[in-house]
Chain A
């Protein structure tokens, strides 16, 4: 099927208007209660649950003809799932797409926040597998809802403290819980904790969609987002001794690549757009 026939046979951005309205109402409540998980009538999407259906439903409810869309997975625009989701929206909306962070009005992401600081007016949509930060401590939804209602987050602090006792460190390296606007403990989706500080007082609007779990939540721009920690064990982000093997960056989040069967490894930027831009600038300088 070519994009034209797909667009003729389906709604703009796939979802019907009633579904979009339902998601839009949920999004408005989500920004009004930062960090709180709003249940919504999640629909089956033509992609499997767990592959970004929540993020896609949010994007489908938000996207308009004048948007410019960027889709990343693991920070990269060219990973297969990012390619597939970008093609889906390109085919079903006809909107402009880009790989450049600064050009995008709408960015759907899985597991990363771009290295280049986001700007006012941009919307970042996260794909979320398990929206409940307390889920792995308390499996029952009835119980975790009660904890959020009572602002009873003792179990979370105990869990983090037990890590310190056992490993000397908080043993959470990604999906590191945050406190939003001093009230709700929130799962930032499985981004590395390296990215957590970027969420705090960001000028961009951050929206989170969990399709299988049927939850939407949000962080408005300029909102306090604090990673949980202890006075004697303050939050800190990952650091590498190496630099990116392509662009030489010492500031970005690095992926490890194995070069041979002996396990020799190198490190490269996980954010492909950031890495490309640095390379272009280096070439200009040379």
Chain B
């Protein structure tokens, strides 16, 4: 049997999980705000912000779908070991989808829940090259409006895939349905929930 190197997750399981969650709560309730998640190291190709988010949210009751670049023994075994999460090959039943920006699954396949239970929809975790609240050269500049935002907020996302940009600007699933998207780049995290109105500058 190939031995897979298990990597250290949170140094303090209770405190780190709480801090990561508080950051996620902050970014989800104030779209466009950047928080730093450096509670873990990089896990192979997975950036610290993405690894921390997984450790804080996943467990044996959640199903996660991994895109190609993360669907390897090192990432999946470590995630299973630390969280007990269930991996699924069927993207339409996943509670969480974790992918790199260039390996987005077909967004129309993701679980949406129903008008009665819109909370049963999928949370999409996308690892991008870089995130900033000041304009990065060559990156996509987005202007956000909606709940959690006084007036408007601008963010800059390096390597935001065109399909995701289109989803965000066109919002094909009418509210209360919709995907809640968490962008992770290095130590940084931004969330764009289904309520956010997005424009490309």
A–B contact (CB under 8 angstroms): yes
A31 and chain B: residue at smallest CB distance: B29
Interface centre among A17, A29, A205, A219 (most CB of B within 10 A): A29
Interface centre among A31, A64, A150 (most CB of B within 10 A): A31
Q: Does A221 contact B (CB under 8 A)?
A: yes
| In contact, A64 and B18 (Cβ under 8 angstroms) | yes
Interface centre among B26, B119, B147 (most CB of A within 10 A): B147
Q: How far is the CB of B95 from chain A (nearest CB, A)?
A: 8
| In contact, B24 and A28 (Cβ under 8 angstroms) | yes
Q: How far is the CB of B140 from chain A (nearest CB, A)?
A: 22
Residues of A with C-beta under 8 A to B19: 64
Residues of A with C-beta under 8 A to B146: 181
| In contact, A149 and B180 (Cβ under 8 angstroms) | no
* Contact residue among A30, A62, A150 (Cβ-Cβ distance under 8 Å from B22): A62
| In contact, B148 and A221 (Cβ under 8 angstroms) | yes
> Which one, B53-61, B65-73, B98-106, is touching chain A?
B53-61
Q: Does B14 contact A (CB under 8 A)?
A: yes
Number of interface residues of A (CB under 8 A): 44
Q: Does A36 contact B (CB under 8 A)?
A: yes
Q: Does B81 contact A (CB under 8 A)?
A: no
Interface centre among B13, B29, B62 (most CB of A within 10 A): B29
Q: Which of B23-45 contact A (CB under 8 A)?
A: 24-26, 28-30
Residues of B with C-beta under 8 A to A201: 150
| In contact, A150 and B115 (Cβ under 8 angstroms) | yes
| In contact, B116 and A145 (Cβ under 8 angstroms) | yes
Alpha-carbon separation in the docked complex, A221 to B28 (Å): 11
Interface centre among A27, A33, A39, A149 (most CB of B within 10 A): A33
Q: How far is the CB of A22 from chain B (nearest CB, A)?
A: 7
| In contact, A29 and B180 (Cβ under 8 angstroms) | yes
Q: Does B193 contact A (CB under 8 A)?
A: yes
Q: Does B169 contact A (CB under 8 A)?
A: no
| In contact, B180 and A205 (Cβ under 8 angstroms) | no
Residues of A with C-beta under 8 A to B180: 28-29, 32
Task: Type the 1/0 row for A46-69, where 1 means its CB is closer than 8 Å to any CB of B.
Answer: 000000000000000111110000
Alpha-carbon separation in the docked complex, A120 to B24 (Å): 16
| In contact, B118 and A33 (Cβ under 8 angstroms) | yes
Q: Does A223 contact B (CB under 8 A)?
A: yes
Residues of A with C-beta under 8 A to B62: 25
| In contact, B115 and A149 (Cβ under 8 angstroms) | yes
Alpha-carbon separation in the docked complex, A32 to B115 (Å): 14
Closest 3 CB pairs of A and B: A149-B115, A32-B193, A220-B148
Q: Which residues of A contact B (CB under 8 A)?
A: 11-12, 17-18, 20-22, 24-34, 36, 38-39, 61-65, 145-146, 148-150, 181, 183-184, 201, 203, 205, 218-224
* Extra inter-chain contacts (19) besides given A29-B119, A145-B116, CB under 8 Å: A21-B17, A21-B57, A24-B56, A30-B119, A31-B25, A31-B148, A32-B28, A32-B193, A33-B194, A34-B147, A34-B195, A38-B119, A145-B117, A148-B116, A149-B115, A181-B146, A183-B176, A220-B28, A221-B150
